[in-house]
Amino acid sequence: MVMFNKKYRDYKPDIIMDLVDPKLIELLDEFDAMVRGKLYIHRMYDENAGHRSQHRAGRAADVHVQGMHVLDQWTLAERLPWGGLGVYGPDVWRHPGLHLDVRPGIVGARWGYRKSPKTERKIYVGLGASFIKWILECYEEEKS
């Protein structure tokens, strides 16, 4: 069973189902089964999100898997047909995790989300080797 953080525990299941794309719920249930029930949802439907946001359309969720490294979360999530998949780093979330969505069209929008080293503003970046290296370095710093 998918667990909701405090913000979403107040939602009634029938209200969530009315606001969220059933395909999103189906894929979240599959992902939750893959991670053995340790999936936490931070944000799903959000009427205040930007007009192009998948959250506003009820097609996106921001999640993390309790006790799992964010790169492992990403690797597992890639087994499912997400339209969009973003990896949120440890400098933008207390529990690094993922943005998962079922946007219409081609599967494959991918990005990282972190703070800019120059301005400290949150920015979207490509999911290339430099982003992965940065994530790993963040965890190494935490250990020391």
Structural domains of the chain in order of their starting residue, each with its CATH number: 3-143 (3.30.1380)
What average pLDDT does range 95-109 have in this prediction?
88
3-state secondary structure of 124: strand
Local structure of residue 7 (DSSP, 8 states): H
The verdict on pTM exceeding 0.75 is yes
Q: How distant, in Å, are the alpha carbons of 19, 66, 128, 143 from that of 131?
A: 33, 22, 6, 19
Q: Answer for the pair 74, 40: CB distance below 8 angstroms, yes or no.
A: no
What average pLDDT does range 121-126 have in this prediction?
89
pLDDT (0 to 100) of residue 18? 78
End-to-end CA separation in angstroms for the chain: 35
109, containing H or E segment: strand 109-115
pLDDT (0 to 100) of residue 8? 38
Q: How far apart are CA 135 and CA 87, in angstroms?
A: 10
